[in-house]
Chain A
Amino acid sequence: MAHWSLPSVTRLRAGWRRSPLHGAVLGIASVALATVAVALACTAIAFVVTTIY
């Protein structure tokens, strides 16, 4: 009789890392992170400029 058990976290993680979606999520998250970083720096610039003028 076949034995069935819940897949372990390690196996799930390994499977996720092998899936093509893993790269996509990493890539998209990196682009979003870069945009947010530049946007935050620009917000600081906007604050400084409006304070001066």
Chain B
Amino acid sequence: MLFRPDRRDFSLIGFYTGKVLFGVGVAMLIPAVMAVALGERNELYAFLLSAGLAISVGRATELLLYTRESLSTSHGLATVALSWLLAPIFAALPLLLSGHYASYLDAYFESMSGFATIGLTLANDLDHMARSVNLWRHLMQFIGGQGIVVVVLTILASAGGRIGYLYTGEGREEKILPNVIRTSRFIWRVALIYSLIGTTLLWIAVIGAGLQPLTALYHGANLFMAAFDTGGFATQSSSVAFYRSVYVEAVLLPLMTAGAFSFALHYQLWLGRRSELVYNIETRTIATSTLVMFAILAVGLARTGTFTEPGVMMRQGFFQVVSAHTTTGLATVPGRLYVTDWGVLAPAVLVTAMAFGGMAGSTAGGIKAMRIGLILKGVIRDVRKVLLPEDAIVVTTFHSSTRKMLTENQLRAAATVLLLWLVLYFGGGLIGLFYGYELQLSLFESTAAASSGGLSVGLVRPALEWPLKVVYIAQMMIGRLEFIAVFALLGYLLAIVRGRV
């Protein structure tokens, strides 16, 4: 059967996308308030102009395409992808008007990097950026981390139970509670309580690092959003190294870990089921891979003589491994050192850690621990089948909230998505090679963009060739939405091109 969308389908997609744009415009009023408080007049005008534009376009689209019809799966997925494509168009305007970006493409790149919680930046002179603009960069991570569409629609509370399709479209596979509204409320509760505790602890740690209390509060709030939403933006160009504080790093480590935990796991832990930490397939996979990767990284760093003291190796190496594995992208060393001082093995570990990523249904990106864990279980099951007598029945189970049986369908789905991830990582890497960059650099940056890892070896900079910027933007979006929503939007676009409308 041919896919033949009609005018009603496009109206429905446009209607909900309009709501999202309206919500993004309203969100821009938060940094506008800060601009008023700090007397940043030019930035205030930029935010008001951009917010006004987003609100007007969003509201006009809603009114023009008003519909009372319900969303189907394909509508939901296409709405999510279209919203993620259009929201950065408006979110980029205050960035461009701040004068810290060389072009509109650079500002769009920054917005996509923010919403998709990547952490790669094209900002010039970040250290002197107006605080309201810098807050907007971090706020985009917070909104994107929770799920830009779900955030807007739950606040506007206008899509009711139908946001289920939008929820899945943003890479959230698991409904924690019986319905999506209750699930998103729980996600909000976790985020808000963590933000209260995390910001307070970071505020104290940053004061300890020598900053004034009000400045420290601003740094603490931004650092929290960068860590818990696994975003990786920083208020300073030297990232976390700016603070030179072991306390700041110590607070950031559990916050990044919490960001990479699935909200389903948070729910279990909040119910007091601590055994989930030991038995859950994802915590086991992440804990094991962190230990293995840190061991390889330690060997690599020791062989090159970069760090010979265990304390220094632990502080620098462990922070970088956790930052990469949780796909946060905060760094305590300048990115260029990964290639000049860290040898070959250690950067390869960081690439692998970013590629693996966090847990499914968390704010982290990457292949996800669930898929890696399932595939490993599948491999072990196949080996057992070969070794045992032919008539033996091999049953493999895994634990995720409850004990479940591993099925062929789950394995096939995990393997298919794994393959897509590898194509995304290596595809971007190959395009980097085409532009003359070394394999190590282009693969590092491509993986950082696609997995939302956000660590950088310095390839992503304002002088980067514009086609590569476009490739990285596409990788960020495809990676964050985990393919399917983007494919759905492409399906609609192809139908238009082929005249099947």
- Where the two chains meet, the residues of A that have a C-beta atom closer than 8 Å to any C-beta of B are 20-21, 23-24, 26-28, 30-35, 37-39, 41-43, 45-47, 49-50, 52-53
Contacts and interface: CB of A to CB of B under 8 A. Distances in A.
B269 A45 contact: no
The DSSP consensus for interface residues of chain A is: helix
B257 A49 contact: no
B190 interface: yes
A28 B323 CA distance: 19
Instruction: Name the residue among B189, B258, B307, B308 with the largest chain A CB count within 10 angstroms.
Output: B258
Nearest to A32: B254
Contacts of A32: 254
A42 B258 contact: no
Interface string B301-344: 01100011111011001100100000000000000000000000
B308 A53 contact: yes
B389 interface: no
A27 B269 contact: yes
Interface residues of B, number: 37
A30 B317 CA distance: 23
Contact of A27 (B270, B302, B309): B270
B196 to A, nearest CB: 9
Interface stretch (B209-217, B290-298, B350-358): B290-298
Contact of B272 (A20, A23, A50): A23
A35 B256 CA distance: 10
A42 B291 contact: yes
A8 to B, nearest CB: 22
Contact of A49 (B254, B258, B313): B313
B218 interface: no
A20 B283 contact: no
B480 interface: no
B129 interface: no
A37 B257 CA distance: 12
